[in-house]
Amino acid sequence: MKTLSLKNIFLFLSISFLIFSCAPRLSSSFVKDGYKDKTYSKIAVVGISKDLTSRLAFERTAVNLFKDNGINAVQGIDMFPQNMSEKDQQPANLIKIIKENNLDGIITMSLISTNDGHRYQKGESYSIPAGYFRVGKHIYRRYVTVNEPGYYVPTKSYVIEAVLYNLKGELVEGQETWVWTGESALIDPSSLQSAALTFSREMVGQIIKDEIIISK
């Protein structure tokens, strides 16, 4: 009997996370032992964020890419609206939403860690005139190179995790149903929407390449 880890999905739907910009790629991924049933009838893509724009960018991009590869995917915002109340996030209600929408898979994405650090920035080098010198009948201008001192700049990195849940069969609270996870490290973020778009492309690309989900 296939069971649903409502505890984990509840936590994902309850935690707010931030998606930022750089050029992320999935740095690691893991497939659960024994995962074989890789076709899905309907998968919901759920981005969990306080920033609605970044959530919509992630969901919309991932859904379109899945559809381009013959996989039926829908945006989670239509079933799991922004700022769900605590009552709506109760396991019984999540099961009801999943059943009413005929979902047999969910992909979530969340921030799992942030780290502050420093990066060494090399100082600029440039040439300046420093008089003249003679070589035979010719006069040349002399230049010297000036090297400015380097310095350290603060950096912030974010590790984003995507999780695929297999919800086929009867839904029962308590047991794990995750079948795949993938992570990506984002360094020095600057734009929410840009990172959401980039991460979703990398995530779907790896899922398709590794045949984590196969079109029917």
pLDDT in tens, 187-216: 665 665 666 777 788 899 999 999 999 987
* Alpha-carbon dihedral 74, 78, 80, 82, rounded to 10 degrees: 120
Pairing of strands 73-75, 43-47: parallel
Judge whether 151 lies within some domain.
no
Radius of gyration of the chain (CA): 25
Where are the strands (E) in the chain, listed by range?
A: 26-31, 43-47, 73-75, 105-121, 125-135, 138-147, 151-166, 178-187
Nearest-CA neighbor of 118 among 188, 63, 38, 181?
Answer: 188
Q: What is the pLDDT of residue 20?
A: 32
85 falls within a domain: yes
**What's the domain count of the chain?**
1
Angle, CA 86 vertex, CA 44 and CA 108 arms, to 5°:
25
Q: Is residue 20 part of a domain?
A: yes
What's the predicted TM-score (pTM) here? 0.72
At 191 the pLDDT is 60
- Residue 199 within any structural domain of the chain: yes
Residue 166 maps to a domain? yes
Q: Which domain, by its residues, includes 47?
A: 6-116+156-209
CA atoms of 129 and 7, how far apart (whole Å): 69
H or E element at residue 190: none
Q: Splitting the chain (216 residues) into consecutive groups of 10 residues, what average pLDDT does each group show? A: 50 41 56 92 90 86 94 95 86 89 91 74 85 83 86 76 90 81 74 71 90 90
Burial profile 175-212: b = 16 or more Cβ within 10 angstroms, e = fewer: eebbbbbbbbbbeebeebbbbbbbbbebbbebbbeeeb
Residue 130, in any domain of the structure? no
**Looking at residue 16, what is its pLDDT?**
36
Q: Does any domain span residue 144?
A: no
Do the domain assignments include residue 106? yes
The CATH number of the domain where 94 resides is what? 3.30.160
Six-digit token pair at 117? 């650090």
Q: Output the pLDDT for position 214.
A: 93
Alpha helix positions (H), 17-142: 52-68, 91-100
Tokens for 183?
Answer: 């992570």
Return the pLDDT at 72: 97
